[in-house]
Homo-oligomer: A and B are copies of this chain.
């Protein structure tokens, strides 16, 4: 895993730190995350990351930004796997993609939405998050035939479906939805469809 040959200059340290950061986050959660640890993982001095990300928050913001892109990709992947072009089905597919990402990368999800140490105003982060939001807004636009940005009722639909998936996913992660946690993947998916349907009709 770790490379043995060390030239003084790493070559692509920034990318390596991002990758290591993501894997540390995935393996140990925010609990075991530290700048020094990520540096160690890459085989580099403890304050090398500072040059690329400033401080811990800088690295976390970069990870969250990456996360939002994966997040969007997960929703698109589910839609691409969709047979029909029915607007309702496509929206549900987005919801399932939302859930996929949450379950696959719980720590990243918490970082993106739950963390205190997150500069919400970072432009790159903002852009990635907005792109994900816009995807959902488009789903609603297709369903309602109006842009949510021009129709308040459609915007309420966006907020409703977003809140619904997000709440479902968050509660699942928080460990407070015991009955759903016990389900296997297909059962959970069916139950989610049943719940999510309430958000839009």
Which A residues lie at the B interface, using CB under 8 A? 29-31, 107, 110, 113-114, 116-117, 120, 129, 133, 155-157, 159-160, 162-168, 170-171, 174-177, 179-180, 191, 194-195, 198-200
Contacts and interface: CB of A to CB of B under 8 A. Distances in A.
A117 B28 CA distance: 12
The A interface is mostly helix, strand or loop, or mixed, namely helix
Contact of A155 (B120, B133, B162, B179): B179
Given A167-B168, A167-B170, A29 B116 contact: yes
A144 to B, nearest CB: 13
A129 B116 CA distance: 23
Nearest to A32: B116
A46 B177 CA distance: 37
Contact of A163 (B30, B155, B171, B175): B171
Given A155-B179, A167-B162, A170-B166, A116 B198 contact: no
Contacts of A133: 176
Given A113-B170, A159-B177, 13 more contacts: A107-B116, A110-B114, A120-B175, A159-B168, A160-B195, A162-B167, A163-B195, A164-B199, A166-B171, A167-B168, A170-B170, A198-B199, A198-B200
